[in-house]
Chain A
Amino acid sequence: MTRESTHCFAADLGGTKLAAAMADAHGRIVAELTEPTDRRGGAHVAEQIAASALKLAHAVGIEAARVRHVMVGVPGAIDPLTGRVSLTPNIEGLQDFDVLDYLRGRFGPGVEIENDVNLAMLGEQTLGCASRCRNAAFLALGTGAGLGLLIDGKLFRGARGSAGEIADLPIGRDPTSQAAATSGAFELEVGSLAIVERYRRQGGAAAVTVRDIFRLAQEGDEVAAVVLDTTARWVALAVATLQSLLDLELIVFGGSIGVRPELYERVRLALPAHFSRPITIAPSRLGDRAGLIGAVCAAARALRQDREPAQHALHLT
């Protein structure tokens, strides 16, 4: 007889770090960990995810075999038919390795993978600032740019799982250029590399990271302020584009750059000039934990759904 499953496992895989959590059926996190993503990528990353589940199970004192509901957020598009991941420039070899198949081999058929920004959207819908929304988006701005979409109350993934891959929006750099074909015209204009590069081009010297630029802007550095203004205008164009296509109630700003008030307040100020109807934007309430919390919510929901039919059958007999 298989023992009842009491806990679920959730992970948020990023280009630099892996966040993982063990939670109960109510979605309460009982243990969690964060570690640097295995730089070797592919199979090593999949093994790292499985190992973190075992570590957390051990820490909580449950048998790993009783963890059968797993949700992993990955930074890429997931083909709805094959479960294969694509568009993951930040993790080596992830498209050549079948992560889902590997994890199902370890934990059984209850393993799911989902785009990380979709999970962040789900997290904000369940526990964050989009709790009453039926039509909303989570705009993640950081190293890259991504979008999680909620349409009529449900996550929206597109025909091939690549809805919300807005790095490719034809906004910013020349979308027909060779560079845009690999990184995406929009990401080339608003990704963290682009922001640092813009600062350097405009004569700023001291900044090495986007965080430096935010700090310099706060300290009154004019070049840093201009760089953030320009970035905010490009983001405002993207937001106007989303609103014109989808007529959303709320666009949540997340990611390491998106959550910064220095950025989203500038976007808010720029929006009326770019779009004639009002657009509501808000910073992510869950911050850099939005993806992990969304994964926990999804895994816990699956765990409850698995348990409820059994309870229901008891009532009938």
Chain B
Amino acid sequence: MPSQPMASVTRQLSRRSVFEALLHRSPISRADLAKVTGLSKQTTSEVIDAFEQQGLVRPIGRTSGNVGRTAVLYELSPDGGHVLGIDLGARLTVTLGDIAGRVLAETDEPTDSRGGAWALEQIARLADRLARDNHTHPSRIRSIVLATPGVVNPRSGAIEMAPNITGLGHLNVVGLLSEKLGSPVAIENDINLALLGEIWHGCAQNVANVAFLALGTGVGLGLYVNGQLVRGENGAAGEIGYLPIGGDPLQAEARLQGCLEYQVGAHGIVRRYREAGGGDVGSAREVFERAQSGDPRATDVIDETARLTGLAAATVIATVDPQLIVLGGSVGARADFADKVARVLLRLAPRPVEIRTSTLGKRAGVVGALSVALNKLHDELFSVADLAAALPLPPPRVQ
């Protein structure tokens, strides 16, 4: 019947706008929902009834204080569907959220150092435990997003250019994880997701053009432009470890690991401190601690790291002109380090740009993963995909 698709599209649009109003204005009455959405009271009530039956909304009380009848207030039900955000790095963090974007629980532990299939097994175990501890069945998790370093090959599903986690390069991570967890898994670069995390809940809310410069074990850049992530032609945009900064880009280590990352990655900081005669330290954090307690060699190494990071930021400013640069990662998010970078930039960039440090810290990636998982769930429930179909043609008529 030709009129059927149109009716379902209209209904889907109504459902979508009622859901959106609930997402942002709960608790809210049916009358106010009608007002906010511009839909008729009858349509609003029909949608709410359907949502209640589906378990998407629940009544949580009544309006009070006014003369006359009171109205029932509704909110999105925490049982309406769950989403999972996962951040796979040196540590593994898993966050369970509900359909309204509330974080229900979060857990983290060191990533299985054997990497590869072991790490995937570990993800499944943590996800399962998190779901059961929160009295939800794993099957109610409807959307999952995994943050990982590197680039996801869109054809094979494998994770490439992630030298800091072993054994992922040859696995179909998307396929294997989706099977283990029983729902579709999407993978996205961890720095892109950290950027989205800062935009949703962190220091980059309501900014249209943001660059997120992450400095930790590795180095990377996330770019968010006019409301969208910049991924590049092969998903490799922002792989700034390969920027020709900080040394001879033709040298063997620089070619393998990336010229910039070889110098400013955590290993680079430790190596340069040792080369400067500072002795053996176990981590970049120790170099920072020694600098704070007055070790001049450590200070020099940190200053040089800040200078190179400032140069990288200057290339970003000259090329993409962001409104804001967020510094993140275990090294980048340190306030003392960010101050140094900002001072370097004052001398480098003719057009100064605001610098902020990540407010979500090591949670940025998992919060971003949760936000994308939510977007995907909402899209799945309320997208208006039918609208793209061709208009039904009238039957043939004889002239």
The residues of A with any CB-CB pair to B shorter than 8 Å are 134-135, 147, 149, 151-152, 156-171, 175-176, 181, 184, 186, 237, 240-242, 244-249, 273-277
Contact = CB atoms under 8 A, between A and B. Distances in A.
A181 B347 CA distance: 9
Contacts of B320: 149, 156, 158, 163, 245-246
Interface stretch (B28-36, B96-104, B167-175, B232-240): B232-240
8 contacts: A159-B208, A159-B209, A168-B350, A169-B314, A245-B221, A246-B320, A247-B235, A277-B236
B239 A247 contact: yes
Contact of A166 (B208, B235, B318): B318
Contacts of B321: 157-165
B237 A245 contact: yes
Nearest to B316: A245
Contacts of A246: 223, 230, 232, 237, 319-320
Given A162-B351, A168-B349, A247 B233 contact: yes
B21 interface: no
Q: Which 8 A/B pairs are nearest by Cβ-Cβ distance?
A: A247-B232, A158-B321, A159-B323, A163-B321, A159-B209, A247-B237, A247-B236, A168-B318
B348 A247 contact: no
Given A162-B351, A276-B255, A237 B249 contact: yes
A157 B348 CA distance: 21
A170 B249 contact: no
B54 interface: no
Contact of B244 (A147, A168, A248, A274): A274
B242 A276 contact: yes
Interface in B195-246: 208-209, 221, 223, 225, 228, 230-245
B314 A175 contact: yes
Interface string B241-269: 11111000110000100000000000000
A274 B244 CA distance: 7
Contacts of B233: 134-135, 247-249
Nearest to A183: B350
Contacts of B350: 168, 181, 184
B348 A176 contact: yes
A163 to B, nearest CB: 4
Contacts of B311: 170, 175
B315 interface: yes
Which of B234, B314, B315, B317 is most buried by chain A, counting CB atoms within 10 A of its CB? B315
Given A170-B314, A237-B249, A245-B316, A158 B240 contact: no
A241 B312 CA distance: 9
A289 B38 CA distance: 51
Contacts of A237: 244, 249
Nearest to B151: A247
A160 B351 contact: yes
Given A135-B233, A163-B320, A241-B315, A175 B348 contact: yes
Nearest to A248: B233
Interface in B310-356: 311, 314-323, 347-351
A240 B243 CA distance: 7
Given A149-B320, A245-B315, 7 more contacts: A149-B319, A163-B321, A166-B319, A167-B318, A240-B242, A241-B244, A247-B237
Contacts of A276: 242, 255
Given A247-B232, A274-B244, A147 B319 contact: yes
A301 B237 CA distance: 30
B315 A170 contact: yes
Contacts of B323: 159-160
A58 to B, nearest CB: 40
A169 to B, nearest CB: 5
Given A158-B320, A181-B350, A276-B255, A247 B315 contact: no
A251 to B, nearest CB: 11
A36 B231 CA distance: 42
Nearest to B349: A168
Nearest to A236: B244
A166 to B, nearest CB: 5
Contacts of A184: 350
Nearest to B234: A247
A169 B240 CA distance: 15
Contacts of A169: 314-315, 318-319
Contacts of A175: 311, 314, 348
Nearest to B239: A244
B319 A245 contact: yes
Given A158-B209, A168-B350, A248 B232 contact: yes
A273 B250 contact: yes
Contacts of A176: 347-348
A249 to B, nearest CB: 4
Which of A135, A175, A237 is most buried by chain B, counting CB atoms within 10 A of its CB? A175
Contacts of A151: 225, 230
A95 to B, nearest CB: 14
Nearest to B256: A276
A235 to B, nearest CB: 12
Which of B231, B320, B348 is most buried by chain A, counting CB atoms within 10 A of its CB? B320
A207 B290 CA distance: 55
B240 A245 contact: yes
Contacts of B208: 159
Contacts of B243: 240-241, 244-245
